[in-house]
Amino acid sequence: MPGQLKYIEVENFKSYKGKQKIGPFKRFSAIIGPNGTGKSNLMDAISFVLGEKTSNLRVKKLSDLIHGAPVGKPASNRAVVTAVYEDVDGTETHFSRVIINSTSDYRIDGRSVKVEEYANALEKIGVLMKSKNFLVFQGQVESIAMKNAKERTAMFEEMSRSIELKEEYDRTKVEMLKAEEDTQFNYHKKRNIAAEKKEAKMEKEEAERYQRLRNQLADLELEQQLFKLFHNEREIDDLASELSRKTQVLEKENRKLQKVEDEVREKKKDHGKLVRDITKLEQQIKESEVELNKKRPLYIKAKEKTAHLIKKLESARKSLKSAKKANESHEQDVKELEQELATVEQSRLAYEEEIESESQSQGRSMHLEETQVKEYHGLKEEAGKRAAALLQGLDTINREQKMDQDRLDNEMRKKNENEAHLKQKEHELEESRQRTEKLNEYIRSSKQAVEDQKKLEAVLSVEVETARVRINEIQAELESVVEQLGEAKVDKHESARAVKKAELIDNLKRLFPGVYGRLIDLCEPSHKKYQVAITKVLGKYMDAIACDSEKTAKDCIQYMKEQRIEPETFLPLDYVEVKPVNEKLRDIKEPKNVKLVVDVIRYDPPCIKKALLFACGNALVCETVEDARKVAFSLSERHKSVSLDGTLFQKSGVISGGASDLKMKARRWDEKMLNQLKAKKEKLSEELKEQMKQKRKESELNTIRSQIKGLETRLKYSITDRDNTQNRSIQQLEKELEDYKLKKDSIDPDIGAIQQTMGERGKKLKDIKEKMDRVEDEVFRDFCKEISVQNIRQYEERELRVQEERAQKRMEFENHKMRLMNQLEFEKSRDTMKNVQKWEDTVAEDERELEKLKKDEQKQMNIIDEEMKGQEQMKQRKLTIKLQGDDIESDISEIRKRLTSQQKECSNVQKSMTAFEIKLEQKRADRHSLLKSCKMEGLHLPMSQGSMDDIIHEGEGSSQMENSTGESMSTQGARAIYEREARIVIDYSRLSDDHKDLDTADEVKKCLDQISKQISDMNSTLQRIAAPNMKALEKLETVKAKAQETSDEFETARKRAKKCKQAFEKVRKERFDRFMNCFDHVSNKIDDIYKALSKNQSAQAFLGPENAEEPYLDGINYNCVAPGKRFRPMDNLSGGEKTVAALALLFAIHSYQPAPFFVLDEVDAALDNTNIGKVASYIKEQSESNFQCIVISLKEEFYNRSDALIGIYPEPSDCVVSKTLTIDLTEYDDEN
């Protein structure tokens, strides 16, 4: 039985504050406690003391392991963890690791040691620091279950320590492979040198034969060049004499031409004066138009004011009419009320007279006798005496009642007046609100109108401004175009032939849609300097017509035959055969600035590129003639090249160009540009006219702005009127209306109080009357019996009813009269006449203002009429001057016809001279080319005067050869070269008389062809002989030396390869042995362990390497067959089955180099209850004999099988402080 871990002593480590002793640990100990109490910190303490790195302990730096450091409150500057290990014989060893600030110290039994000694001491008891064979962290089991084959191989390499040899294995393998490669290389090199030696001998013999033929060819080429030069000089002399005669004829024709030109200039001078007068008048007309545009808005503004005032006056008149109608209605109402009041008064007086007459006619009561009446009055006095006190009280109450009645009548009158005023104010408030609504509606409509006008103004402003800016741009462009046209002397007249050619293209494009146009019209040089070169390369194809198909070309040709038009060349794009562009030519670095001709041409449309490729091919353009010659003949292959001065080098060796007629043809690019400038000028002129039309909208814009200003002014007045009505009139009326309502609310309670008081007093009056009635009943008892009434009041009621009816009638008259008087007073208080007067004043004021505005409008109209009249006079004058100009133009046209005729005469002579000059220039250029060719090819001409150094290339003497435009070979430079070469006198004595005496061109050509044929035949012979290496002898000696050197290198490389292979095999064997010792042990153990963990013999587990020869280079497959289930891949097992399989692998690996103790952190997390029991039983069994097991677990089914429990609990503090309790479970039986 191995030793065991007995205690762990910690001091200020992570959550363990102070010094704590944890243990003792039994053979199977379980660490338990709630989450967050510090269980994993105990795991970290064990890992730390056994050499684990800081990065694996869940901290960033070593000092963070001190208690309280992560929260900035370290308990100390040091922390200590000590592991007490007890050996089999009971001997204890203390392994300590101390943290002091940011450093750690290793100690064994209190003695400080180096980390290597510490690791060796641990290794002696079976604990490996590097492979960590004693430790399983939380989640590590699940990660082992999820490892792929390559990751399992890495795990085995760490456990077997074969990974320590990986770097040396890789290094020796690379060295072996390199040595074998060097050996193979030197072997092939040796064979190649032997073949090269044999070839060098053959080259030496071939070189000697080749040199003899070259010497014969040089003599023949010299004879050919002398023949060409002799006949070239003879032709130059003939052409020079003919040119001198033509020069005299040209001078005579030029004098005649000068006379006609002077006459044209005089007419042009007169015409120019008239043009200036017209321009001046046009400027005055424009100024007048501007002035008119300025004055029109004033007239429009005045007209707008007049129209606005007319509308305002019309509105005021309508308001006056309404006011008068209201006043008349008011006066009629007052009159009717006065008449009704008079009628009521007459009715009342008539009623009083009627009552008076009735009283006088009746005299006294007819119902009683005279004695009875006396008795009645006597009894009445008696009753009055008896009820005197009651009567006095009744009088007092009646007086009070009368006073309250007066008060009530007064309050009722006030109430009626208040209601009348309330009604009046409500009427005025309604009128003010209606006025406000009308003003709001007018403001809304005015705002909408202003907004619409502003939108229109914005649109017109943009148009006018855009037109103004564009006019400035167009004028600037026109000035530039006119300047360019002036520099190019655009007053040249096109020839009739050119016009016909242009018309032909237009007709063909119109009739046949597939026609694109002439090549010269469809493309242009990317720079002016390339014009001559491109002209030379394109040659006859410059005027060729590009079309889409062969059918289109045939149709065009048929049309031209029918119309009897001159023949043309067509390039149908579907018919021409084009070789692809050689892309390598674009990469030529030397000489510089060499480009494909196609690349310096701009073309449109893109489809015509095929036609350009057909015409240009792979031709290259170079800066100088020397560069063109190098490109043509000195590179690995011959190429068609052209210099900027038009010298063309063909692949066949033919050199041409440099003639003056080529430059004349190149001027057609400039003529094409002139045509484009003319078209651009016409387009800009048309656009300028359109933009001027847009700019004339400025007057309309000024009118709209005036309208906007008028609308905004009226809108401002309307808003002010509305605000005054809302903020003053309506608020004042609402305030007065509120006051009348409050007054009404205060009157109603007063009336109610009076009526209540009078009601209560009426009850008192009734009581007193009842008392008085009893007194009267007692006094009049006998009297009533006598007159046969129940009581005296029946008699009095008959008499009094009449009195009450009369009083009631009088009251009705009084109330009616009072109502009419109140209404009359209210109507008289309304002053409608004042409103009438106000509107009459307004109408009169507006009429006066209208008269004033009409006069102002007429004044502005008169000013505009006068301005227009003056403008019309200027236009008439302009027309007169224009007619005079037309007459002068007619005269100029006639003179120009004569001028054209004379120019044609001069042109014919000039053309004739030019033809001779071109021929002469061509012959001189031919002589120069012949001389230059001789110099370049190394042919030394025999000379009686001068030397080969007098023959110069175009690249020499740049001061003489380049002009201000930068062209490489100007006419002036060429002439300087020709004059210098003319001083060279060649000795033609080597040339036979037969060759000199040839007279006709045919004879010369025939003889030259014979010489050329001889040269060609000899060249063919030389070409059939591959160009030999003229340094073959030197090469042969070099090859012999190289053969010996290569043989020595091969032998050295072979020995080095053998040595590297032996070293590699040694390392490979050691790595293989280490790995396989571990693998064989684990693969033998794992099946038994998996069966033990599963508690089932049907369970199977097996390992297999993917690479049996070198298993550490590839993966290791791990498969398990769970009890009672068929075989499935590891990924398809359940979580619990994967964990059991991972534990089996873990325990199997641990058994290879077993540590005395095994620390497991929550390995039961993914296990169900059944598997927990099985795993716990296995650990229990193993702990009794093989190793001590310390586990961290939260599952009771697991830790209740342990020998001891170490409980961890927290204590309250600023940060977690962990404390421990230890329980020895061996003291209890399993049942408890």
Asked if residue 586 has pLDDT above 80, the reply is: yes
Average pLDDT of the residues of the chain: 80
Task: Report the sign of the C-alpha dihedral through residues 1172, 1177, 1180, 1183, in that order.
Answer: negative
Put simply, whether the predicted model's pTM sits higher than 0.75 gets the answer: no
Residue 679: pLDDT band with limits 50, 70, 90: confident
pLDDT of residue 1027: 63
For 1006, other C-beta atoms within 10 Å of its C-beta total 11
What is the Rg, in whole angstroms, of the alpha carbon atoms belonging to the chain?
67
What's the farthest any 2 CA atoms get from each other in the chain?
A: 209
Closest CA to 895 of 264, 271, 272, 270: 264
Query: What is the tens place of the pLDDT at every residue in 631-664?
Result: 888 887 888 899 988 888 888 888 887 555 676 6
The pLDDT of residue 490: 39
Confirm if 150 and 1117 have CB atoms less than 8 A apart.
no
- Res 548 pLDDT > 50: yes
Exposed, middle or buried by CB within 10 Å (0-12, 13-18, 19+), for 383?
A: buried
Asked if 608 and 546 touch (Cβ cutoff 8 Å), the reply is: yes
Burial classification of residue 266, based on how many CB atoms lie within 10 Å of its CB (0-12 exposed, 13-18 middle, 19 or more buried): exposed
Query: What's the whole-number mean pLDDT along residues 1039-1063?
Result: 82
pLDDT in tens, 387-413: 777 777 878 888 888 888 888 888 888
Residues sharing a CB contact under 8 Å with residue 559, sequence separation 6 or more, in sequence order = 508, 511, 512
- Which tens digits make up the pLDDT trace of 29-63? 899 988 888 888 888 888 888 888 877 778 888 88
Strand 1204-1211 to 28-32 pairing = parallel
Helix axis angle, 609-616 to 531-538, nearest 10°:
80
Q: Is the pLDDT of residue 672 over 50?
A: yes
The confidence band for 10, taking pLDDT boundaries of 50, 70 and 90, is very high
What pLDDT score was predicted for residue 241? 81
Q: How far apart are CA 455 and CA 449, in angstroms?
A: 10
Helix (H, G, I), strand (E, B) or coil at 915: helix
The four Cα atoms 328, 333, 338, 341 give a dihedral, to 10 degrees, of 170
For residue 364, the model assigns a pLDDT of 40
Q: What token pair was written down for 1214?
A: 């600023």
* pLDDT tens digits along 782-816: 778 777 677 776 666 666 566 667 777 778 778 77
Average pLDDT over residues 1036-1062: 81
Predicted local confidence at residue 491, as pLDDT:
38
Average pLDDT over residues 182-192: 82
Residue 508 tokens read as 């063909």
Q: How far is CA 224 from the centre of its chain?
A: 72
Specify the pLDDT at position 489.
43
Helices of type H across 937-1000: 958-961, 971-982, 993-996
How confident is the model at residue 485, as a pLDDT? 62
Rounded to an integer, the average pLDDT of 774-781 is: 78
Model pLDDT for residues 1087-1117, shown as the tens digit of each residue = 888 888 888 888 888 888 888 888 888 888 8
Of 124, 3, 130, 22, the residue nearest 81 (C-alpha): 22
673 contact partners, CB below 8 Å, separation of at least 6: 488, 524
| For range 898-924, the mean pLDDT | 78
Cβ contacts of 1120 within 8 Å, gap of 6 or more: 1090, 1099, 1100, 1101, 1130, 1133, 1137, 1141, 1144
CA pair distance 393, 406, nearest whole angstrom? 20
Residue 960: its pLDDT value, please? 40
1095: left (phi over 0), alpha (psi -120 to 50) or beta: left
How many whole angstroms separate alpha carbon 486 and alpha carbon 489?
Answer: 5
Q: What angle do CA 934, 937, 941 make, to 5 degrees?
A: 35
List residues bridging with 985 in a β-sheet: 945
pLDDT tens string 816-871: 778 778 777 777 777 778 777 888 888 888 888 888 888 887 887 888 888 788 87
Residue whose C-alpha is closest to residue 93's, from 60, 124, 63: 124
CB 533 within 8 A of CB 644: yes
